[in-house]
Amino acid sequence: MNRPSFPYAFLSCFAILASGFLSLGACDVYAASEKKPNILFFFVDDMGWQDTSEPFYTHQTELNRRYHTPNMERLADEGMKFTQAYACALCSPSRISLMTGMNAARHMVTSWTLRKNISPDQKHPQVKAAEWNMNGMSPTPGVEHTVQAITLPMLLKKAGYRTIHCGKAHFGAQDTPGADPLNLGFDINIGGHAAGGPGSYYGKYNFSAAWRNEDRIWDVPGLEQYHGQDIYLNEALTREAIKAVTQAVDDDVPFYLYMAHYAVHAPWEKDDRFYQKYVDAGLQGLPAVYASMIESMDRSLGDLMACLDRLGITDNTVLVFMSDNGPPKQVPRNRPLRGHKLTPYEGGIRVPMIVKWPGVVQPGSLCTDQYVIIEDIFPTFLEIADVTHYEQIGGKIDGISWLPLLRRDSDYPTERPIYWHFPNTYNQTPYSAIRKGDWKLIYHHVTRKLELFNIKEDLSEENDLSDSEQDKAKELARVLGDFLRETKAGMTIDKATNMPVEYPDQIAVRAN
């Protein structure tokens, strides 16, 4: 549903009043409905496409039957489920993309950040990682190894929103401006800092890694009121988020709540509220722990939905559920998808996504024929907030708004190219990839090998068609190569030549 602009609403109301068909009180109600909608972005860490009881595949899978996420089921019943939503294959790149609207190849925060000027990349016998922005993003110029950018919360704040950060930040390295969400446009920061995981999920251990004699850099800040208590981190964060939302409603200001859970990221620690039911169902060890963490995350979603209902703002709140990448390799595979976190295969990059917007999104609807990607969050949320004039310091905005999909409009590109870029050597060999329509091409930097898959016909990516469909492989390699050149993306360095590896289209031409 397209809402009329303010001038149109005013003139319409005035005309109807003049006609004698509408009282002043009714006009006030109509004007009130034009308030900017609240935005609640529920962002989960490391949750796979199948790590839920709400199916995102064509039918229910083994993992759908294993896990219990009733609030995701309710959200899907009340909103639109996207079965082809994508993120980057790991955390910091996804978070910088949603904050800036830029693809990872452009912002070059291509791996995870933590310590200033220290990369987690490992030595590889044949290649070196590209130069990348290992310190994350920065709101100010002159910070080495960062991308300077205007952020989503900066623009929302300027538009009158109260911007609330809750949970995992992971935007910038320790001792850089980007490590603190308050420097990036958030009015409130609850528990966010440089680290991408918590020291512990347990309040009894002060959410600290000290009890394991590990580095205190992982300790979650700002939750001292829960220290020593028998409370799980997800619940503590949810309580604080509810307080912040309630205050915004009391103050009569629209809010943007970025509810970015640390869950279900390591360290994998059971939530005792849910753990025993999975043991009783026959799970043991990490699978049982992981299942309890997923349900704990889902309880937070339910508590926040109940808060919106209690405050009477559900009808004027857009709620978006999404994950930042696929599940880690230590937990059960998200079959039929191939791969896991860090990899360029669907298991590493395809994520669950649900959108609820009363009055706009048809309850129980599906988006199965179009795909979206993490950098689309930036322009979409700005369009929801009616922010129309903005530019990006750090480069071109790659994301596009998916509001036409919510509204069932036809003006959405059907074969839009989307990209992934990981020129790093952290627990995965480097690659670049593209999807365009039903086709996906992966370029492996070390071997210079191209893989081509038809995702529509081969979701599990079992059949490499790069030999039998050479024209399609060349076409996608050219589009991918052009994008990498246009973004000035850093490329992996070949140790034998000390030069960047070739672009994928150069490999395709040679192979032909």
Q: Verify that 388 and 438 share a domain, yes or no.
A: no
Q: Mark whether 195 and 288 lie in a shared domain.
A: yes
Q: Tell me the CATH number at 156.
A: 3.40.720.10
Measured distance CA(149)–CA(99) in Å, rounded: 9
Residue 60 Cα distances to 75, 214, 277, 283, 347, angstroms: 17, 40, 21, 19, 17
For 423, the domain range is: 417-511
Cα 469 versus chain centre, distance: 33
Do residues 437 and 389 share a domain?
no
**pLDDT in the model for residue 434:** 98
Residue 230 Rama label (left phi>0; alpha psi -120 to 50; beta): beta
E-strand ranges in 324-390 read 350-356, 365-367, 372-373
Query: Taking a C-beta distance cutoff of 8 angstroms, is the pair 75, 301 a contact?
Result: yes
| Cβ count near 214 (within 10 Å) | 14
Same domain, 164 and 203: yes
pTM of the complete model: 0.92
Burial of 73 (0-12, 13-18, 19+ CB in 10 A): middle
For Cα atoms 398, 401, 402, give the angle at the middle one, nearest 5 degrees: 125
Buried b (16+ CB within 10 A) or exposed e, 34-63: eebbbbbbbbbbbbbbbbbbbbbbeeebeb
Asked if the peptide bond before residue 55 counts as cis, ω within 30 degrees of 0, the response is no
Domain-located, residue 123: no
Residue 170 in tokens: 């992971």
Q: Do 469 and 330 share a structural domain?
A: no
What are the structure tokens assigned to 447, written together? 């071997």
Which residues are within 8 A (CB) of 28 and not within 5 positions of it... i.e. 6 or more apart?
none
Query: Does residue 478 sit in helix, strand or coil?
Result: helix
What is the rounded radius of gyration, in angstroms, for the C-alpha atoms of the chain? 23
Tell me if 22 is assigned to some domain. no
Q: Read off the pLDDT of residues 344-359 as tens digits, 9 standing for 90 and up.
A: 999 999 999 999 999 9
**Dihedral in degrees, nearest 10, Cα atoms 216, 218, 224, 226:** -120
- Please list the ranges in the chain whose pLDDT falls under 70: 1-34, 508-512
Provide the pLDDT for residue 508: 65
What does the chain come to in residues?
512
Q: Does residue 397 sit in the same domain as residue 427?
A: no
Instruction: Note whether residue 11 is domain-resident.
Output: no
Is residue 215 included in any domain, yes or no?
yes
The number of folded domains in the chain is: 2
User: Which of 359, 381, 406 marks a domain boundary?
Assistant: 406
Q: Are residues 349 and 491 in the same domain?
A: no
CATH number for the domain spanning 485: value is 3.30.1120.10
Closest CA to 242 of 188, 322, 316: 188
Determine the Cα angle at 222 with ends 294 and 258, to 5°.
50
Give CA separation, 443 vs 295, 411, 434, in Å: 37, 31, 9
Residue tagged 């394991």 (tokens): 212
Q: Mark whether 59 and 179 lie in a shared domain.
A: yes
Residue 206 DSSP label: T
Q: Residue type at 496?
A: A
User: Do 166 and 313 share a structural domain?
Assistant: yes
Query: Residue 459 and residue 438: Cα distance in Å, rounded?
Result: 10
pLDDT for residue 409? 85
Can you give the pLDDT at residue 6? 28
Q: 375 with 501, same domain?
A: no
295 in the same domain as 431 = no
